[in-house]
Amino acid sequence: MDNGEIFTPASEITAARGKDEKGGIPSKRAVDEDKAKRAGQVHFKAAHGLVVAFFTFILILHVAGIYLFTSGFLLTRLVLDHKSECAIPPIEPARAYISGDAQKGCWHPRTFGKAVVIIIDALRYDFTVPFEAQFEPTDLAAAAASPHPPPVAPRHFHNAFPVLYETAQKQPNNAFLLPFIADPPTTTLQRLKGLTTGTLPTFIDAGSNFAGTAIDEDNLVAQLRNASKRIVHLGDDTWHALFPGYFEPNLTHAYDSFNVWDLHTVDNGVTEHIFPLLKAENLSKWDVIFGHYLGIDHAGHRYGPDHPAMTAKLNQMDEILRRMISELDNDTLLVVMGDHGMDTKGDHGGESEDEIEAALWMYSKKGLFGRSSPAHTAPPANAKVRPVGQIDLVPTLSLLLGMPIPFNNLGKPIEEAFIGKKGADFENLAIVNRLAGAQIHRYQDEYAKARGLDESIRTTSLALWAAAETAWGSLGKRSNSAQFQEVYSAYGAYQRDTLSICRALWARFDNPKMLSGVTILASSLIVLATYARGLQGDRSDLTPVFFTRGAIGAVAGALVGFGASFALPEMPREHVLIFSTALYGILGIVSTFYSIRHRVLSPIPASIWGWTSVFFTLALSVGFAANSFTIWEDEILLHFLTTFGVLAVISSFRQRNKIDRTLGIYHSVLFTVLLRVASFSRLCREEQMPYCKSTYYASALSTTSAPWQLAIPAAAALLVPTFIIGYFEGTKSYQNTAKLWLGLGLRFGLMLAAAYWALDAADDGDWYPEWNNVISITKRAVAQIVLVISLAFGYSIYNWSKPLLSIIVNESQDKDGAPKEAITVLGYANVHGSRYALLITVWYLAIALLQKPMGAGAIGILVWQLFSLFEIVDTNSLHGSSIGPVVLGLLGSFHYFKTGHQATLSSIQWESAFIPLTKIRYPWTPVIVIMNHFGAQILCAVAVPALVFWKIKPQQKGLLGMLAKAIATHMLFYATINLATTMWAGHLRRHLMLYRIFSPRFMLGAASLLVVDVVAIFVSLWGARMSMLSVAEIFGFGG
């Protein structure tokens, strides 16, 4: 607004409070002023504290709603504590087999006495199949025309690990190789649970990957231990979280699993300790070895599959396995498998095809394996052919090793392992499938009992069971192979049907909980919306009432809930308690609206800006009901933000003041063009293919940056501080501490951040192999220094900075020739805005460091856009409008995508935790990953107060109320998105795309709401307090 007032005569500033200054005794005046100032401070601090308390109350409501919904939405499965026992087979054994002797085999004669089970983390099926066997020689012309051309040349991950395929093809009786389909979520901990219990994991466990807890349901490892087998574990330490104390302590060696930067420690450790155990003199020391290699998984996370490091890793595995085959004794079974695959960038966690398609290979020198048809001798060319489930491993291994099948198992024995070397022993197949089927049948009975399930759900599977049993009963001594085959397939049909019933059953949602969650979220949204947009006058003087009544309501609700939980014994107590506390709290706030109803405004927007804000928010929210609009959210955000840019140009053209008009047009165009520039940074999600080209990393198949991208952080370090200084210079606010911080601290910090990424590239690419150690230590030190500069040094400067003002005394002569003093104040025009904006740059430095080089560019552009947005808001007088906070919400979400993220679990850049640290440290690691993941949203939330402060008068009345309004509006945007994604996820809970699209988007919506809430309250609102106090030191509170 007051653009012209760069130089402000001091008389104008003091005039406002100068009335009583005339004639007063100076010392007394000073005392009075001091008193008034202190009283003002106390009043401000109290009012501010209550605003913080009110928003914290809203945050708690959000947490309560999200918690209730999540606990009802993420799948839950009742874990039965039953254990299978060696002496108690689920059904009368066939061929009069006497069960109970683990040495001979519990339920079925055992085949192997010992086993070496190797898990190669993230071993995707197509890594093991030669390129020539996977793809026909490609006709280049035809390939160019087709929409999904097959690859024409081998990638780095092809042909590097041929030993599995070779042995399976050349010695079909000794080995077989099959696609091994994982059940999502494809995180290692979940997969290990599935691989050892034979049951389907449920989603609620997905988050506990890094703090796993012991498995207490029946599983293969526990069965082995009960049978006094000596189990050795080598490799990934996740096993110890799942099976604490199960392994032979002096032979077992576990390694940290989370350091994805390290490709070799775990693998070398496993290799070092496994081969001595295979030597004849050590064979008596163990029965089963579990070896877990992590190198391929880490190479995928760090470089992506299409990288020479992956070739090297696969070659290493090839070598190890060849050696293992040659050193293996005759009675030992060797199993190699991947626990999941990896997507095109080497990450996993979701349920895309590349993520679930792992490989399984079994080998023994006994030559017992077979194929049901000669055509099946060669392993399948791709994972769509003859796949087996990962849950099938448990019954297979159990029966081969003579163990009972774990109680909760749902898998079936793998055909190749039991069909005999001639491929015709259907009798054996029928027997083992009958055993597995009977165990499933027993489990189903118990589960139905425990859960009180209706028989009707199981009618089809019970009928199939009865049919299989009848077929079995009709067999005689002289039955031929075809009859056995029939029985075998009858039990197979029963197992398949039960599995699908279980899948459907465990996709059961707790609807009352979900509804309660949505109710809390929806009603807190209405409260927040009314607070943000539907109140007249200063909010800060009403907030105490809101908070008090809300708190009283919550306490009353807690009491009522406590009482009600006795009246409703069938409902979980925490559910009733949380729901009633939150609801009564909301009612308390609503009662305030009723008491002050003369100040409540119509919620319908009054201006085109209001309508635009509502439209952007609601259109996005509605769009999340469609998977296409969710997939293409990044492009939609670009579309909306550009629309805002165009509207800002139009609005700027309407301004009458020529300076406002020109500045407004300039910044609107700049804002819009920067959007498009930033939009070149993309990391496509799988569903966007083939219409999207990833640019975030060196290639679509890697997670490392190209060397040229290293120039981006350096360019940002050179340019962005200069641009920011430009915005400060515009009002002569580039003074005092701004010079120290922007001119020195920020510049230096950004340079160091650029240096970090150069060092990181050198370390990653082995540019100077002999210096690797030095480089890797130096880069972490550099990263830590940057964080110290930002969060310690920068924050201190921000905290103790004076307003960015300086006073110039001009001595001149007036007309009569008498000397005259003219005092001008520099930086007066933007005293609030410039003071607060320092905080944005402090956070900018920390967040820029934690983004990959391309992301550092996107974040730099974001900061530049923020300042342009402040100018647009100011020149168009939109300080109090909803459009500013809403555009910040859109901008934060937009740059979320531009910093290499997507609404998918696999896009979380876990490795960012290791930028400043070598190992996991709580609480720093989660904080760093959050700052990497939500960096853009965090910066935008920090920027909200500046929308209000930018170029506003120092003594503006009701500034705190305006601030609360803006922050509430910003939270409202995320709360609306969260409510919408929550509702859609709940509503579309049977949708095919639930786990691929709607559920991850819901998680993103909930997580970003909570992060933004916390940042808006404890960084923005708290930071604004420091800034406002320091401005008030000089100008007093506006009142």
Partner 1 sequence: MSTKIIDPSAPKPKPPTATPIEPLKTDIARIYTYLHTLVILALYAYTFPSIVADPVPALLGILAPLAALQVAFVAVCLPPTGETPKVKKSKPGEKKRHVPGRVESGVNGTIVPAFLSLLLTALAATPLLTATLVLFGAPVTTHHLHTLLCGAHIALLSTLPLVYVHGVNGETWRQIVALLLPVDEVYGGLIGTVLGAWLGAIPIPLDWDREWQKWPVTIVTGAYIGYAVGKLLGGTVLKGKKIMFA
Q: Which region among 181-189, 392-400, 553-561, 671-679 touches partner 1 (by CB under 8 A)?
A: 671-679
- In angstroms, give the least distance from the CB of 695 to partner 1: 11
Query: Considering the complex, what minimum distance in angstroms separates the CB of residue 624 from partner 1?
Result: 13
Question: Pick from 608, 689, 718, 774: which binds partner 1 (CB under 8 A)?
Answer: 608
Between CA 102 and CA 89 the distance in angstroms is 12
Task: Select the span of 495-503, 650-658, 811-819, 973-981 touching partner 1 (CB under 8 A).
Answer: 650-658
Helices vs strands, H then E, count in the chain? 38, 11
When the beta carbons of 97 and 995 are compared against partner 1, the nearer one is 995
> Of these, 656, 690, 812, 814, which contacts partner 1 (CB under 8 A)?
656
What string marks each residue from 916 to 945 as x (binds partner 1 by CB under 8 A) or -? ------------------------------
Q: What is the spatial distance between Cα 682 and Cα 693, in angstroms, rounded to a whole number?
A: 7
Residues 674-703 binding partner 1 (CB under 8 A) are: 675-676, 679-680
| Interface with partner 1, residue 88, by CB under 8 A | no
Task: Give the closest residue to 65 by CA, choosing from 573, 582, 618.
Answer: 582
- Which range of residues in 57-65, 670-678, 760-768, 909-917 is near partner 1 by CB under 8 A? 670-678
- Cβ pair 341, 348 in contact under 8 A: yes
Exactly one of 43, 639, 957, 987 binds partner 1 (CB under 8 A); which one? 639
Q: Round to whole Å and give the CA distance between 242 and 264.
A: 23
Q: Which secondary-structure segment (H or E) carries 9?
A: strand 7-9
618 counts as binding partner 1 under rule CB under 8 A: no
Least Å distance between CB 373 and partner 1? Answer: 37
C-beta of 677: minimal distance to partner 1 in Å?
10
Q: What is the dihedral of CA 150, 156, 159, 164, to 10 degrees?
A: -110
Q: Which of 468, 590, 636, 845 binds partner 1 (CB under 8 A)?
A: 636
> Contact between 503 and partner 1 (CB under 8 A)?
no
How many residues in the shown chain lie near partner 1 by CB under 8 A?
A: 30
The answer to whether residue 643 forms part of the interface with partner 1 (CB under 8 A) is yes
Rank residues 226 and 642 by Cβ distance to partner 1 and give the closer one. 642
Query: Structure tokens of 16?
Result: 């406002």
Closer by beta carbon to partner 1, 453 or else 647: 647
- For residue 148, with 0-12 CB atoms within 10 Å meaning exposed, 13-18 middle and 19 or more buried, which class applies? exposed
631: contact with partner 1 by CB under 8 A: yes
- Residue in 120, 224, 638, 943 binding partner 1, rule: CB under 8 A: 638
Q: How far is the CB of 672 from partner 1 (least distance, A)?
A: 5
Cβ proximity to partner 1, 426 vs 609, nearer residue: 609
Q: Are 866 and 943 in contact (CB under 8 A)?
A: yes
Q: How far is CA 218 from CA 81, 224, 406, 446, 745, in A?
A: 7, 11, 5, 14, 58
Nearer to partner 1, 679 or 1008 (CB): 679
Is there a contact between 223 and 202 (Cβ–Cβ < 8 Å)? Answer: no
607 is an interface residue for partner 1 by CB under 8 A: yes
Nearest approach, Cβ of residue 683 and partner 1 (Å): 17
For 82-186, where are the E strands, in sequence order? 114-120, 175-181
**144 vs 646 by CB, closer to partner 1:** 646
Q: How far is the CB of 608 from partner 1 (least distance, A)?
A: 5
Stretch that binds partner 1, among 629-637, 701-709, 841-849, 891-899 (CB under 8 A): 629-637
Q: Pull the structure tokens for residue 734.
A: 């580039």
CB of 636 to partner 1, least distance (A): 7
Q: Is 627 in the site for partner 1 (CB under 8 A)?
A: yes
Instruction: Copy the structure tokens of residue 831.
Output: 């005293």
By CB neighbour count within 10 A (0-12 exposed, 13-18 middle, 19+ buried), where does 472 fall? buried
Q: Is 988 in the site for partner 1 (CB under 8 A)?
A: no
**Helix 935-949 to helix 831-849 angle, to the nearest 10 degrees?**
170
Three state DSSP letters for 609-642: HHHHHHHHHHHHHHHCCCHHHHHCHHHHHHHHHH
Q: Name the residue nearer to partner 1 (CB basis): 143 or 626.
A: 626
Span from 601-609, 829-837, 976-984, 1031-1039 in contact with partner 1 (CB under 8 A): 601-609
Length of the chain: 1039
Residue closer to partner 1 by CB (options 474, 536) is 536
Quote the least distance from Cβ 908 to partner 1, whole Å.
24
Q: Which is nearer to partner 1, 390 or 651 (CB)?
A: 651
Strands 357-363 and 332-337: antiparallel
* C-alpha dihedral, 54 to 55 to 60 to 61, nearest 10°: 90
Pick the stretch among 245-253, 488-496, 673-681, 1031-1039 that binds partner 1 (CB under 8 A).
673-681
- Select from 455, 437, 545 the least CA-distant residue to 499: 437
Q: Which string of x and - marks every residue 560-599 that binds partner 1 (by CB under 8 A)?
A: ----------------------------------------
Q: Which stretch binds partner 1 (CB under 8 A): 286-294, 317-325, 506-514, 672-680?
A: 672-680
Q: CA distances (Å), 881 to each of 451, 638, 769, 886, in order?
A: 54, 21, 57, 9
The least distance separating partner 1 from the CB of residue 680, rounded to whole angstroms, comes to 8
Q: Is 799 in the site for partner 1 (CB under 8 A)?
A: no
Name, in order, each residue with C-beta under 8 angstroms of 463's C-beta and a sequence gap of 6 or more: none
| Among residues 131, 562, 629, 1018, the one that binds partner 1 under rule CB under 8 A | 629
673 binds partner 1 (CB under 8 A): yes
Q: Which two tokens mark 102?
A: 């683990």
Q: What is the DSSP string of 101-120?
A: BTTTBSSS--S-SEEEEEEE
User: Which one of 282, 511, 536, 628 is in contact with partner 1 (CB under 8 A)?
Assistant: 628
Q: Where are the beta strands (DSSP E) in 487-597?
A: none
Q: How many of the other CB atoms lie within 10 Å of CB of 205?
A: 19
Alpha-carbon span 969 to 321, nearest angstrom: 60
User: Mask 151-190, x = binds partner 1 (CB under 8 A)?
Assistant: ----------------------------------------
Which residue number, 655 or 736, has a Cβ lying nearer to partner 1?
655
What is the spatial order of strands in the sheet that 175-181 belongs to?
253-255, 231-236, 288-293, 114-120, 332-337, 357-363, 175-181, 388-389
DSSP 8-state symbol, 889 = H
Residue closest to 218 by CA, chosen among 201, 196, 250, 233: 196
284-292, 516-524, 533-541, 628-636 -> range binding partner 1 (CB under 8 A): 628-636
Of the candidates 8, 3, 35, 19, the residue with the CA atom closest to the CA atom of residue 1036: 35
Nearer to partner 1, 629 or 1018 (CB): 629
For residue 626, state whether it binds partner 1 (rule: CB under 8 A).
yes
Binding to partner 1 by residue 645, rule CB under 8 A?
Answer: yes
What does the alpha-carbon distance between residue 549 and residue 538 come to, in Å, rounded to a whole number?
18
Q: Considering only residues 188, 495, 651, 801, which one is a binding residue for partner 1 as defined by CB under 8 A?
A: 651
Whose tokens are 């996370």? That residue is: 301
Q: Which among 1017, 1029, 1027 has a CA at the least distance from the CA of 970?
A: 1017
Question: In this structure, are residues 1 and 874 in contact, taking their beta carbons and an 8 Å threshold?
Answer: yes
**How far is Cα 1000 from Cα 997, in angstroms, rounded to an integer?**
6
Please pick, from the candidates 272, 459, 496, 653, the single residue that binds partner 1 as defined by CB under 8 A.
653
Closest approach of Cβ 673 to partner 1, in Å? 7
Residues interacting with partner 1, by CB under 8 A? 606-609, 626-629, 631-632, 635-636, 638-639, 642-643, 645-646, 649-651, 653-654, 656, 672-673, 675-676, 679-680
